[in-house]
Amino acid sequence: MPGGPALTPFNWLLAAAPLLIMLAAMLGLRLRGTHAGMLGFALAAALAQIGFGTLPAVLVVAAVRGLAVSFHVLYIIWAALLLYRLAEEVGAIRSIGEGVARLTEDHILQLLILGFAFASFLQGVAGFGVPVAIVAPLLVGLGFPPVQAAVVPLVGHAWSVTMGDMASSFQALRAVTGLPAARLGLWTALFLGLACLLTGFAIAHIHAGPRPFRRTFGAIVALGLAMGGTQAVLALLQHWIIASFAAGMVGLVMSLALARMARAPRGRRFWGLLPHWPGHDEERATAGAGARVQAGGGPGGGHSRGSGGAPAMGFHMAFAAYYVLIVVVVLATLLPPVHHLLLGWAVTVPFPATRTLLGWAVPEGSFVLHPLEHPGGLLSYTVAIAYLIYRAAGYWTPGRGRAVVGLVVAEGVPTSLAIVAMVMMAMVMTYSGMTFLLAKGIAAVTGPLYPLLAPFIGLLGAVVTGSNTNSNVLFGALQRDAALVLDLDPVVMAALQTTGGSLGSMVAPAKVLLATATVGLAGREGEVIGITFRYCLLMVAMAGVLGWALLTVVLR
């Protein structure tokens, strides 16, 4: 790598200071991500000039590039928030959940349908803790203990975070690392596919220990392979923006089919995938459970009835917005005339080559955005069409737009400011050589064992910042550079980073607080984290071992 400061303990600590101070501000001082990110950016800019010979002109280039990269992610986030809030306001989200819950009284199947498949689907279309906020109160309404109701969606959605929310976390990782997207997507999907397979067993274990494994082994494996395989295939085809969304939808369809088969005569149940449960006929008192779900359990308190006297919403009408999304994405990506038309407008921001006084050089580059073809654009078209459908069907009444916009702004502004500040900090550290120096120091200490640590760095970022996207922004370039220093594949290392960040979502304090708040467990967050941490640690460690074996043995 060209030039840069010498690797000394003092220089390494100086390079680490922005990250350490930001983490301390969030953990110790309880500062919000926005304020901590701004503090980190200001400190990085100051240290870049004082200790790393970075001229003000270079800082300007880094900051502008950070703004550009941020917009790439924020375009998706704002559009996804708007789509979710539209569907939630008309009662579509709650109708989908209640419809699913009524299909079976088998508690393991209910957990797999709602806590695994439905939570993964919600992560695919919304993110931001929405799967936890929606699924946890639904499970309480079905009669599950509040602790289980909080833990299950936390564990069940984590594997799908990286490519959820229209792949905003994955897009952030691409943006800050500059690695080949096709290979990065495939390796990420493979690591998370393993986590997906383990998640089904984790959910069954949360409810009843290892006892359900024998009777549900085939169903869990089939569901895990179907969902993880769907994500991997779509990643291979470079359709990252719908990978988790489609995987969740496939999981929903498959789990609903399994639930219907479970009602069949005993000899035909699951073709042996799900043998008869000894207590299957001893149903818990869950009659009308869907109706008992507290109206205020999820964000906005959506109901299966549109407000204002709208007719009851059936499953397909509730799913209409997501049917539209599927059609829009298919047309925009698979139909060449439409695809080329959307690519017709491009916004390009060039960035000059830079060099610090210590010799660290960054080559020239450019940021290219196709607003019409961008995932955020596809989501925007979906929002417009879904609005027209719900309005024509009588579920949307005048005057509700202000509430929806207010919620989107309230959620989007703090998130946007935090992402912008953290991305600009990450870019300043990259342009000054601080990130490479950090990676060089960590690699020197850990050597070939570094891949074992890589997913835990992603986990740490997700826990501290509350977001896999922010974790990727903070540590993506560091992981890439560590791999280059060790002469390992940076794509696989970056995939380990986002795998750890994705799985870290099940112990991220912000999401745990959301889970406990929606099931009446405020103040018992430690109890919930104590359970989710065990499953998180196991999955992250397995990803690290697999990554180490691949990087040091198979791919050498």
The full length of the chain comes to 556
- Which tokens in the block code for residue 420? 């912008």
| pLDDT number for residue 315 | 79
- Establish if 372 belongs to a structural domain: yes
> What digits encode the pLDDT tens for the residues 196-233?
999 999 999 999 899 888 888 988 999 999 999 999 99
- Establish if 113 belongs to a structural domain: yes
Type of residue at 241: I
pLDDT, the chain, mean: 84
Range from 183-187, 357-361, 437-441 carrying the lowest mean pLDDT: 437-441
Which H or E run contains 267? none
- Establish if 510 belongs to a structural domain: yes
Give the Cα separation of 70 and 62 in Å (integer). Answer: 12
- Establish if 117 belongs to a structural domain: yes
More confident residue, 382 or 34: 382
| pLDDT number for residue 362 | 85
Give the Cα separation of 51 and 11 in Å (integer). Answer: 8
Res. 306 pLDDT band, cuts 50 70 90: very low
- Establish if 296 belongs to a structural domain: no
Give the Cα separation of 136 and 380 in Å (integer). Answer: 28
| pLDDT number for residue 290 | 35
| pLDDT number for residue 209 | 92
Identify the CA nearest to 23 among candidates 454, 471, 443: 471
| pLDDT number for residue 148 | 95
Range from 83-87, 284-288, 306-310, 363-367 carrying the lowest mean pLDDT: 284-288
| pLDDT number for residue 265 | 59
| pLDDT number for residue 305 | 43
Q: Is the pLDDT of residue 186 over 80?
A: yes
Range from 90-99, 104-113, 153-162 carrying the lowest mean pLDDT: 90-99
Tally of domains in the chain = 1
Give the Cα separation of 164 and 127 in Å (integer). Answer: 6
Q: Is the pLDDT of residue 266 over 80?
A: no
Res. 72 pLDDT band, cuts 50 70 90: confident
- Establish if 142 belongs to a structural domain: yes
Identify the CA nearest to 285 among candidates 147, 518, 108, 107: 107
- Establish if 281 belongs to a structural domain: no
Which residues constitute the domain of residue 506? 9-275+311-352+363-554
The 3-state secondary structure of 20-85 reads HHHHHHHHCCCCCHHHHHHHHHHHHHHHHHHHHCCCHHHHHHHHHHHHHHHHHHHHHHHHHHHHHH
- Establish if 237 belongs to a structural domain: yes
CB 152 within 8 A of CB 206: yes
